[in-house]
Structure 1
Amino acid sequence: MSTRRDFLQIAGLSTLALSLPLADTLAASVFSKEDKVLRVAIMGLGSYGTRVAEAMKESKRAKLVGVISGTPSKVETWRQKYGIPDKNCYNYENFDQIKENPDIDAVYVITPNSLHKPYGIRVAKAGKHVICEKPMALNAAEGREMIAACKAAGVHLLVGYRMHFEAKTLEVVRMQRAGEFGKTLFFQGLSGFIIGDPTQWRLNRELAGGGAMMDIGIYSINGSRYMLGEEPIWVTAQEVKTDPVKFKEGVDETITFQMGFPSGAVASCLSTYALNNLDKFYLDGTKGFAEMQPSTGYGPIQARTNNGPIEREHITHQTVQMDEMAAIILDGKKPVIPVDGEEGLKDLVIVDAIYEAVKTGKKVMIG
């Protein structure tokens, strides 16, 4: 059975002839035992925090060494399960003390959206690198505050864009950049599922900052940008709400939105909490196409082009993400698709524009 190391070596070599920058990036993913390890504390010990912690067991460059939670029972469970020292366990009131803890390099903020900015800034002021789940903040203004705080503190700000390291996604991006689809003219992104518990934080405007757009819609926004390889200059958007009891004021159920790009390409996207089986990207060009379905789930991702299926080994997304983020922070590695605060801000600018378009019914210009 091939290993992750074998896969990365092969992937790097196979792209050498067509894309030296991408090949260099992939080949640099082969880590040696002597490489430094990024020591990470996870803030927010819910379901996704657990997923990241489990994935990090297989990481070569990142190690879980600390926890931050407002629930003492969760802290104790994680302390025992992952062998975390007492001195690396914090709550939301005292985690500023990590400033005095040399055994923690970075904090991965996996909290409700409204807490990303205040907690991320506190982490930065404590002198630790910030890894933040997406969306990076509630809006572009908050995102700019986070970027400024991290720059002032001299720490990295990275966003949990796991798809930016996924092998099949990277192959589609490579093909698009190499012109193998010709001029790319159209992108479709369908992102949605039927949400469950109506009392969860994702349906609380104060905690989530919105509804489906702030959770699942961000994938189509981000995907349109890296698959078309350019930034949108306008958006239009329409909202549909069939259940105003479950989806209260300020919590979107379904939004369809369109984006226009400088090249003339357009994107047509759907973000919803009311429909299942929606996880699809489609890219169309003058010489070919790419289709991914599922396109952003936890995997395995399925992808095909006009040349046939794309075959790559499935590796747990969060494992690859944490290894690659360690390389960015520790080695200065430049990823094929950025995952820094500026990348997160670009998505937030578009989210703001979409909500404005829904409210006004007008085309909203960006930039």
Structure 2
Amino acid sequence: MFVRGSLVCVNQHVIRLGVVGLGAMGSEMLSIAVDHPEFDVVLAADPARPAPGSVPYTPDAWRVIDHPGIEAVYIASPPSTHAAYAVQAMRAGKAVFCEKPLAVDLDDGAEMVAVAADVDAVNALNFVLSDRAAAIEVGRALRAGEAGTVLGVDVQLLFPQWPRLFQREAGWVAGRQQGGFLREVASHFLFLSDRLLGPLTPSHTQVTYGAAAETGASGLLATAGGVPVRVSGQVAAGPESYEWTLYGSQASYRITEWGRLFKGGESGWREVTLDGTRGDEQTRLTEFASAVRGKPTTLADFAAGLRVQRVIESFHSRAAN
């Protein structure tokens, strides 16, 4: 047994999990958790979607947060609700695994980080690239000095439509208040840049808006060491694409399609064969179990999520001014 803050876990038993939010991501994670050997799903909540199969269900998320038999909570509700649920869960001694973005309001994000530290709660944010094999390999190459001097990073995104088809039912994803591709997609790549190169500071950002969320965005950010990180996103005709490129003096690295890795040199780009697991919701749920049991993990914590949130929200705040 180990004790961390008010959270007590026994390594030999499955972790009693509650799920809040059953949209696209919540439903996917729930289906994985139901079959996961380290979790027992005690209760799932969503105001509009009942849980599938035999999973106990409630339309009231607070019944999950306040449930005395639940040790850990996965939160996949709209971003504006994350802080209230996470803060109360952590103060009740529960571990929290939350979808990104951490929050929309910066004060909410700061409160989540402060409470996590105050009660020593296990806290994690579901950034896709935290355990993706391609991202881990780039990190290894950087630590080994194989890239040489890092000269810059480019993030390039293209969406033929927003929101994407699988998120159409989540109305908030299309809205400027909580949604948009900066929060939903660019945040993953800014997290990776932050993890590998350190915190980012915006120097110039520009956003164009349609009827609701942004239709275009560009930004120039910089690391503490002066490495430029350029962001470009557009909703326009063309194939949906996601591309993160790190340029080095000896080798460059490009991640596409959320997991394919290419290494660039004088002879051009060649795809890197990656060993082991690709990294997905299953592996990140396993990482969360490790965190609950007091073991090191690759997952992002709320503090990393807040750094990314500050960068993302700087695009919108500067546009508003």
Shorter-chain TM-score tier: 0.7 to 0.9
Q: 2:19 aligns with which of 33, 42, 65?
A: 42
Query: Relative to structure 1, is the Cα distance of residues 266 and 352 closer, same or farther in structure 2, using a 3 angstrom cutoff?
Result: same
Are the aligned partners of 2:128 and 2:188 in contact in 1 as well (CA < 8 Å)?
A: no
Q: Which residue of 1 aligns with 2:303?
A: 342
Tell whether 2:286 aligns with 1:323.
Answer: yes
- Over 3 Å counting, the alpha-carbon distance change for 1:271 and 1:116 in structure 2 is farther
**1:264 match: secondary structure:** coil
Change (3 A) 1:156 1:282: same
Cα deviation, residue 149, structure 1:
2.7
Give, in whole Å, the separation in 1 of the partners of 2:35 and 2:263: 31
Match of 2:6 in 1: none
**Once the two structures are superposed, what CA deviation does each residue of 1:111-159 show, in whole Å capped at 9, x if it has no partner?**
1111111222232233311111000111332111112233344422211
- Pairing 1:216–2:185 present: yes
Aligned to 1:240: 208
Q: Is the 8 A contact 1:127 1:154 kept in 2?
A: no
Q: Residue 106 of structure 1 corresponds to which residue in structure 2?
A: 72
Identify unmatched segments of 5+ residues in structure 2. Answer: 1-10
CA distance in 2, matches of 1:63, 1:181: 43
**1:303: which partner in 2?**
261
Instruction: Give distance in 1, aligned partners of 2:138 and 2:240.
Output: 22
Code of the residue aligned with 1:218 in structure 2: it is S
Give the match for residue 265 of structure 1: 227
SS at match of 2:22: coil
Tell me the TM-score normalized by structure 2: 0.83
Question: TM-score normalised to the size of structure 1?
Answer: 0.74
Consecutive unaligned residues of structure 1, counting only runs of 5 or more, are 1-33, 361-367
- Tell me how many residue pairs correspond in the alignment: 300
Deviations 1:27-51 (A, max 9, x none): xxxxxxx755333211101121121
- Over 3 Å counting, the alpha-carbon distance change for 1:292 and 1:260 in structure 2 is same
- Deviations 1:307-357 (CA, angstroms, capped at 9, x unpaired): 74232345460001011111122123143xx51111111111212322234
**Structure 2 Cα separation of the partners of residues 233 and 204 of structure 1:** 25
Answer 1 or 2: which has greater helix percent.
1
CA distances 1:258-283 after superposition (whole Å, capped 9, x unpaired): 11223231111123444642211111
2:32 paired residue among 48, 52, 55:
55
SS state at 2:293 partner? helix
User: Given the alignment, which residue of 130, 140, 144 partners 2:106?
Assistant: 140
- The percentage of aligned residue pairs carrying the same residue is 18
Give 1 or 2: higher strand fraction.
2
Q: CA deviation at 1:89?
A: 4.8
RMSD of aligned Cα (Å): 2.6
Distance in 1 of aligned mates of 2:170 and 2:85: 23
Which letter maps to 2:33? M
